[in-house]
Amino acid sequence: MTDTPRTPPRKSATFDDYTLAEIRRAAATGIYDIRGAGAKRKVPHFDDLLFLGASISRYPLEGYRERCGTEVTLGARFAKKPIHLKIPITIAGMSFGSLSGNAKEALGRGASAMGTSTTTGDGGMTPEERGHSTALVYQYLPSRYGMNPDDLRKADAIEVVIGQGAKPGGGGMLLGQKISPRVARMRTLPEGIDQRSACRHPDWTGPDDLEIKIEELREITDWEKPIYVKVGAARPYYDTALAAKSGADVVVLDGMQGGTAATQEVFIENVGLPILSAIRPAVQALQDLGLHRKVQLIVSGGVRNGADVAKALALGADAVSIGTAALVALGDNDPALEAEYQALGSTAGAYDDWHEGRDPAGITTQDPLLTGRLDPIAAGRRLANYLAVLTLETQTIARACGKSHVHNLEPEDLVALTIEAAAMARVPLAGTSWIPGVTGQI
Amino acid sequence: MSATIHDSDVAAPHAIDLETETVRGLNAVLHGIGRETNQGYWRVLNPRGRHAIAVGLAAPIQIDIDGHVGYYCAGMNQQAHVVIHGNAGVGVAENMMSGFVHVKGDASQAAGATAHGGTLVIDGNAGARCGISMKGVDIIVKGSIGHMSAFMAQAGALTVLGDAGEALGDSIYEAHLYVRGAVASLGADCVVKVMRDEHKAELFEKLKRAGVDGQVDVSDFKRYGSARTLYHFHIDNASSY
């Protein structure tokens, strides 16, 4: 008598271990999971694109010898004082409150060293970031925490935030642990309470109102400041067209991989578009209006290296913005802190409980003992180094494609490795002339 | 600039007519006035509902606007005393920091939105979301206010001599609300509060600032404010949101 052969236990692809754990966590707590960072699910991304490089019909430029420009001007459409950046990589909006004062200072130091801009966030402008940022973009958010005309005049540009990629259509919540006396004072709220950031602006709705709001901001600042409009990637063609129609100098488009300080996991992972799918529709909108390169497009959400930068530019963006990658450059999720991440129930590379204010790297916290760990000078140096590498990598690819300026990269330089990426980026599937949804056949 | 209402009975040495001058030209002139100015009194003619009139002012000047204004009149005001002899569009005195704005007629929605300081007086009615996200401003409405007024109001005081629409003070933080008339309904976490002597004194001061002290009795008002039950997210409060 032999044993009946048995199949090994099989776990469900639908109810995998993570899903089961989340069901149990929800059942135990009765509250959804809140975390920081952006979408972690795998989505079509820049990795699914390749550059073709030069060949018989395309001449490359000599590396380290022949010039490949990286400078970008933002806001020349209407602003008397447009921003001139040396590199097409900016630092995304992140608030003092969600980040420590030292982290904001480090971002300013790193960005300024490389001739680029940094951006405030919900909660107003701090002297640290203004003082250490040669170009500072001041966000104009629904909450208007800390918003005042004096800081508006000190800014180099104004960014009207409609949404962000991690949560298009969502507001924010800064939990009480991070509402220190200083944060509370800046936001005119009691210390230690959970603090909501509204999802809609309080005094305008829709594109017609937005046009009037932009006019007001221009009037207040005597038409000096470039005005950006930031949207989460949701309906990129129409959002970009409406922002441009409303008078924006610059449109900022943030994909679902873009980070957040604190948002529901279900929101981060299930709302919005991967940035790869959003760039071409946005560029198309500007082209249809005759405004491509006149209204600049900044894209963000999952930009990690110079290849990502080059691909974003080749698809038609004027610049990119980095947030999560900049925090990692400062020291976020460093394996050197593994023991402390484990003590928090996480591990280096996965730590995303930024809302809890216990970040051992001293970046996403207001705890003085933790914030003191981050040396803003050293961290700023690391960010500058990282930005330099991104720039060199972008130039390397651009030169290989024969471009004397990174803005000369174009969709024709790209192919896609997957049908999905080909359809989203509107470039041919590698080895074919097929662009799904554009050309009829392989 | 004193915090009392000045009627426009003083001869205006400086008048700008928006039939012949642009709003840009008007604001540029007003922004050029230093904080230590002797050009203290300006008159704006023919506003005809134009937007962004007298925004971003930062000097202790008085401006009388002869007619109706569009969106965001006196937005982000600092120090200036602006009198609108007509109705005001959306967001009058939005994000005001200091100074005094007086609407002689009615105001549209979001009057005094997010304002940090100063005083906004509306002789007529105000539309929806009056005082939304207010952060320290004093708003006095002699008529009634629309729905969702004082939504997420953080600080300051909203005083209403008439009625209030639905969902007054929804998700309110620490702002003080005084309403003389009927309140259609209270928003989440907004409750009726005891009117102690200190509140009556505060209210009297606000009525005085609006020039109606002696005309209305502070005892006719009810005080509303935050129950503070939503200050920390808790699942048992989820039905309140």
Residue B56 has pLDDT above 70, yes or no: yes
Render pLDDT for A349-359 as a digit per residue (tens, 0 to 9): 999 999 899 99
Contacts with B201 (C-beta within 8 Å, 6 or more apart), sequence order: none
Q: Over 90: is that where the pLDDT of B5 sits? A: no
The Cα–Cα gap between A266 and A22 comes to 11
Choose the closest CB to A189 out of B70, B78, B173.
Answer: B173
Q: Give tens-digit pLDDT for A364-389.
A: 999 999 999 999 999 999 999 999 99
Residue with tokens 């925004």: B55
pLDDT for A1 beyond 70: no
Q: What architecture does CATH give domain B14-240?
A: 3 Solenoid (2.160)
Mutate to test the interface with B, among A220, A221, A222, A356 (most CBs of B within 10 A): A220
- B241: confidence class by pLDDT, cuts 50, 70, 90: low
pLDDT at B45 over 50: yes
Closest Cβ–Cβ partner in B55, B114, B154 for A219: B55
How far from each other are the two terminal CA atoms of chain B, in whole angstroms? 42
Q: Which residues pair with B107 in a beta bridge?
A: B88, B126
pLDDT at B37: 65
Nearest chain A Cα distance for residue B13, angstroms? 24
pLDDT more than 90, % of chain B: 83
When mean pLDDT is compared across A432-436, A438-442, B173-177, the lowest value belongs to: A438-442
pLDDT of residue A64: 82
| Side chain identity, residue B238 | A
Q: Reply yes or no on whether the pLDDT at B6 is more than 80.
A: no
List, as ranges, residues 114-143 from A with C-beta within 8 Å of B: 143
pLDDT at site B239? 66
Q: Which two tokens stand for residue A67?
A: 């010039």
Helix (H) or strand (E) holding B201: helix B197-209
Computed over every residue of chain A, the mean pLDDT equals 95
A196/B contact by beta carbon, under 8 A: yes
A118: closest CA among A162, A81, A142, A85? Answer: A85
Residue B145 has pLDDT above 50, yes or no: yes
Residue A67, Cα to own-chain centre: how many angstroms?
A: 28
Smallest Cβ–Cβ distance between A188 and the set B91, B154, B235 belongs to B154
Mean pLDDT of the region A319-330: 98
Does the structure show a pLDDT above 60 at B9? no
B-proximal residues of A, 149-168, CB under 8 Å: 149-150, 152
Q: What is the pLDDT of residue A441?
A: 62
Percent of chain A with pLDDT over 90: 86
- Is the predicted pLDDT of residue A417 greater than 60, yes or no? yes
Does residue A194 sit at the B interface (CB-CB below 8 Å)?
yes
Q: Decide if pLDDT at B8 tops 80.
A: no
Question: Is residue A442 scored above 60 in pLDDT?
Answer: no
Residue B4 has pLDDT above 90, yes or no: no
**What is the pLDDT, as a whole number, of residue A390?**
98
Strands (E), B32-117: 41-45, 62-66, 81-84, 100-103
Q: A22-41 pLDDT, tens per residue? A: 999 999 988 888 899 999 99
Report yes or no: A27 at the B interface, CB cutoff 8 Å. no
Q: Which residue numbers of B have CB closer than 8 Å to A's CBs?
A: 23-24, 27-28, 31, 51-52, 55-56, 58, 70-72, 75-76, 78, 90-91, 94-95, 97, 109-110, 113-114, 116, 129, 132-133, 135-136, 151-152, 154-155, 171, 173-174, 231-233, 235
CB B36: neighbour CB atoms within 10 A? Answer: 7
Interface test with B, best of A185, A199, A219, A221 (most B CBs within 10 A): A219
Chain-chain contact of A144 with B133 (C-beta, under 8 angstroms): yes
pLDDT digits (tens, 9 = 90+) for A44-94: 999 999 999 999 998 999 988 899 999 999 999 999 999 999 999 999 999
pLDDT at A264 over 50: yes
B55 contacts B83 by C-beta, under 8 angstroms: no
List CB contacts (< 8 A) between B31 and chain A.
222
Which residues of chain A lie closer than 8 angstroms to B95, CB-CB? 144, 147-149
CA angle A35, B174, A366 (to 5 degrees): 35
Contacts of B151 in chain A (CB under 8 A): 202
Kindly list the strands in the beta sheet with A227-232, ordered across the sheet, starting from the edge strand earlier in the chain: A89-91, A319-322, A296-300, A250-254, A227-232, A157-161, A136-140, A118-119
A–B: how many Cβ contacts below 8 A?
106
For the cut 90, the answer to whether the pLDDT of residue A129 exceeds it is no
Q: Give the model's pLDDT for residue B2.
A: 36
Among B134, B184, B178, smallest CA distance to B164 is for: B184
- A252/A342 Cα distance (integer angstroms): 36
Give dist(CA A212, CA A223) in Å, integer. Answer: 14
- H or E stretch at B15: strand B14-17
Query: Is residue B7 over pLDDT 60?
Result: no
The 3-class SS string of chain A reads: CCCCCCCCCCCCCCCCHHHHHHHHHHHHHCCCCEECCCCCCCCCCHHHEEECCCECCECCCCCCCCCCECCEEECCCCCCCCEEECCCEEECECCECCECHHHHHHHHHHHHHCCCCEECECCECCHHHHHHCCCEEEEECCCCCCCCHHHHHHCCEEEEECCCCCCCCCCEEECHHHCCHHHHHHHCCCCCCCEEECCCCCCCCHHHHHHHHHHHHHHHCCCCCCEEEEEECCCHHHHHHHHHHCCCCEEEEECCCCCCCCEEHHHHHHCCCCHHHHHHHHHHHHHHCCCECCEEEEEECCCCCHHHHHHHHHCCCCEEEECHHHHHHHCCCCHHHHHHHHHCCCCCCCCCCHHHCCCCCCCCCCCHHHHCCCCHHHHHHHHHHHHHHHHHHHHHHHHHCCCCEHHHCCHHHEEECCHHHHHHHCCCECCCCCCCCCCCCC
Chain CA centroid to CA B212, Å: 16
pLDDT more than 70, % of chain A: 99
List the single residue in B94, B110, B135 with the smallest CB-CB distance to A188. Answer: B135
pLDDT of res. B240: 64
User: Could B95 and A147 be called an inter-chain contact, meaning their C-beta atoms sit closer than 8 Å?
Assistant: yes
- B27, B91, B135: residue with CB nearest A203: B91
Domains of chain A with bracketed CATH: 41-409 (3.20.20.70)
**Exposed, middle or buried: residue A23 (CB in 10 Å: 0-12, 13-18, 19+)?**
exposed
pLDDT at A186: 86
Return the higher-pLDDT residue of B40 and A227: A227
8-state DSSP, B7: P
Pull the structure tokens for residue A111.
Answer: 């960005």
pLDDT at A289 over 90: yes
Q: Is A42 exposed, middle or buried (0-12, 13-18, 19+ CB in 10 A)?
A: exposed
Instruction: Say whether pLDDT at B33 is over 90.
Output: no
Question: What is the average pLDDT across A156-181?
Answer: 88
Q: Please indicate whether, in this complex, the C-beta atoms of B231 and A194 are within 8 angstroms of each other.
A: yes
Chain A residues with CB inside 8 Å of B56's CB? 149, 219-221
Identify the closest residue of chain A to B50 by CA–CA distance: A212
A175 contacts on B by Cβ (under 8 Å): 233
Which tens digit of pLDDT belongs to each residue from B212-231? 988 999 999 999 999 999 88
